[in-house]
Amino acid sequence: MNEAAFTEALSLVKIPILTLDQKWHRLFAISGKPDDVKELEKVLDEKLQRQGKLNNDLKDYKKLKNTLMESIRENMKGAERGEDTAEEERKLDENKRLLEELNGKIEAAEDELKDLPRSIYETDKELMMLTMTFCYDKLRQNEHEIVDITEWITKFRIELKQNIIKKQNREINNREIYSYMHDIFGKDVIDLFDVRYENADDRKEEADKKEGENKDGQGNENAPKKSDKVLIKGAKLKEPEKKKEDFKTSEE
């Protein structure tokens, strides 16, 4: 669609007053409103407030006009009855002056109210164009980020699967090693080495902890944790059961 056709089609569309719609404000809930949108929003709000004030003023003017007209009629009746003609004439002249001044205000307010709806529509339309530009830019930006995040998730899933398999293989290998060690060397020998390596790991962990405290209270992230030890202790919990013959041999 070319620009002329787009403009013509847009002119036929009824646009709501955007600043009065809470959903319009929600469009900017995350990123916030750009400066040009804020500025035009302020202009539109001022025009709407002006329109509301003029409508209220016009109602007050018309009420006051009716009051003045009634007062003028009373003054004219009093003059006809010959009641204090000079005073009645003064009041009549004053009311006429006020009425003329009031008519001028009514006319000015009505003239401004005739032009305001068109002005409000044009400002609202301009605000819509800024809103559309912002929204479509944000949609494109989000689409690019969605693609990047999707690629990262896919890559992460592959690495996660690989690491899960690697972890399972290491656990199986540890159980096999510990089981073969038991079969080859026997329970008593393995228990001795379990204690020895556990004590060595504890001493290393304590030394690493002290070293980390000496670095301005910053912990050494690379220091091995208790769960990072060689899985001898963990594997010990899954120690294979010995046959009765093994126990007899050991007792002998």
Query: Would 45 be classed as within a structural domain?
Result: yes
> Do residues 74 and 146 share a domain?
yes
> Do residues 121 and 189 share a domain?
no
Which residue from 34, 21, 39 is spatially nearest to 138, judged by alpha carbons? 34
Which of 154, 185, 212 is at the close of a domain? 154
Residue type, 30: I
Residue that has been written with the tokens 């693609």 in this structure: 147
Overall pTM > 0.85: no
> Do residues 98 and 52 share a domain?
yes
Residue 236's domain spans which residues? 156-251
Rounded Cα distance, 194 and 230, in Å: 11
Comparing 4-13, 38-47, 193-202, 227-236, the range with the smallest average pLDDT is: 227-236
Query: Would 5 be classed as within a structural domain?
Result: no
Confidence class of residue 136 from pLDDT cuts 50, 70 and 90?
A: very high
Kindly tell me if the per-residue pLDDT of 234 is higher than 80: no
Cβ atoms 128, 76 nearer than 8 A: no
DSSP string covering 236-252, please?
Answer: HTTPPPPPHHHHHHHH-
**Mean pLDDT for all residues in the chain:** 80
> Do residues 136 and 109 share a domain?
yes
> Do residues 106 and 166 share a domain?
no
> Do residues 121 and 41 share a domain?
yes
> Do residues 97 and 121 share a domain?
yes
Query: Would 9 be classed as within a structural domain?
Result: no
Which of 154, 185, 210 is at the close of a domain? 154
pLDDT digits (tens, 9 = 90+) for 103-129: 899 999 999 999 999 999 999 999 999
Ramachandran assignment for 186, one of left (phi > 0), alpha (psi -120 to 50 degrees), beta (any other) = left
Query: Would 227 be classed as within a structural domain?
Result: yes
Cβ atoms 50, 58 nearer than 8 A: no
Kindly tell me if the per-residue pLDDT of 98 is higher than 60: yes
Query: Would 235 be classed as within a structural domain?
Result: yes
What's the alpha-carbon Rg for the chain, to the nearest Å? Answer: 45
Cβ atoms 138, 146 nearer than 8 A: no
Kindly tell me if the per-residue pLDDT of 249 is higher than 60: no
> Do residues 196 and 227 share a domain?
yes
Quick one: how far is CA 43 from the chain centroid?
25
> Do residues 143 and 195 share a domain?
no
Rounded Cα distance, 90 and 112, in Å: 33
> Do residues 142 and 167 share a domain?
no
Number of domains in the chain: 2
Query: Would 195 be classed as within a structural domain?
Result: yes
DSSP string covering 59-122, please?
Answer: HHHHHHHHHHHHHHHHHHHHHHTTSSHHHHHHHHHHHHHHHHHHHHHHHHHHHHHHHHHHHHHH
Residue that has been written with the tokens 């329970």 in this structure: 187
Rounded Cα distance, 116 and 124, in Å: 12
Query: Would 7 be classed as within a structural domain?
Result: no
> Do residues 123 and 19 share a domain?
yes
Which residue from 118, 140, 251 is spatially nearest to 186, judged by alpha carbons? 251
> Do residues 50 and 124 share a domain?
yes
Query: Would 61 be classed as within a structural domain?
Result: yes
What pLDDT shows up at residue 244? 40
Kindly tell me if the per-residue pLDDT of 37 is higher than 90: yes
Which of 129, 154, 179 is at the close of a domain? 154
